[in-house]
Amino acid sequence: MSVKFGVLAIQGDVRENVDSLKLALEEAGIDGTVHEVWSPEDISTLDGLVIPGGESTTIGQLSLANDSLKEIKEKIQAGMPVLGICAGMILLSNNASDRIVSMKQPLLEVLDVTVKRNAFGRQGKSFEADISLDGMGVSKFNGIFIRAPSITHTGPDVEILSKFDDMPVAVKNGNIIGTSFHPELAGDLALHKYFVSLAKN
């Protein structure tokens, strides 16, 4: 059976995630398609969704304006796998704050974590670091942190997939994965392959 993945295309690293998902499906030998999605109608037919990095307030407000957030939340609660990257993880979280500015944005409140935006600093403080994705059996992964949020609290059912400087930077909560870093820029498909396998199971 073919699976259908989408990347929320309102703002952020859309093309990079589309390409990563296509390659991940191919390498994993999974029959599937990948689409840019914009509307609740697009989202309603998906088996898996990536909410990319970008500007979380913009993504949240624009998604709220066209009712996409309601459809996304209902699909996640029904079991659809979702990967939230950086801004996408913020949007999924139960609670969020910002180290630098006041924050007004909607949250889906489906990922039982508390996050702090811009925890590692603004764009100029972006960096790369080798991390391990121990929860996935990956010993070395190129973590690219761009205006990255930190995860300051995890709920009891949240599995920590990776840490950096003793802070969680990748988590799994049932069918939801959240990362502080940008796996679509890493040149490594390990995380996208892990994600597409969730929709196949």
Q: What amino acid positions are annotated as catalytic residues?
A: 86, 182, 184
Confirm if 115 and 90 have CB atoms less than 8 A apart: yes
Task: Report the C-alpha gap between 48 and 195 in whole angstroms.
Answer: 9
Is the Cα torsion angle 142, 147, 152, 155 positive or negative in sign? negative
Residue 197 φ/ψ, nearest 5 degrees: -65, -25
Query: b vs e for 37-53, b when ≥16 Cβ sit within 10 Å of the residue's Cβ?
Result: bbebebbeebbbbbbbb
65, two tokens: 């304006």
Task: Report the C-alpha gap between 164 and 38 in whole angstroms.
Answer: 33
Residues 6+ apart with CB under 8 A from 168: 113, 151, 154, 160, 162
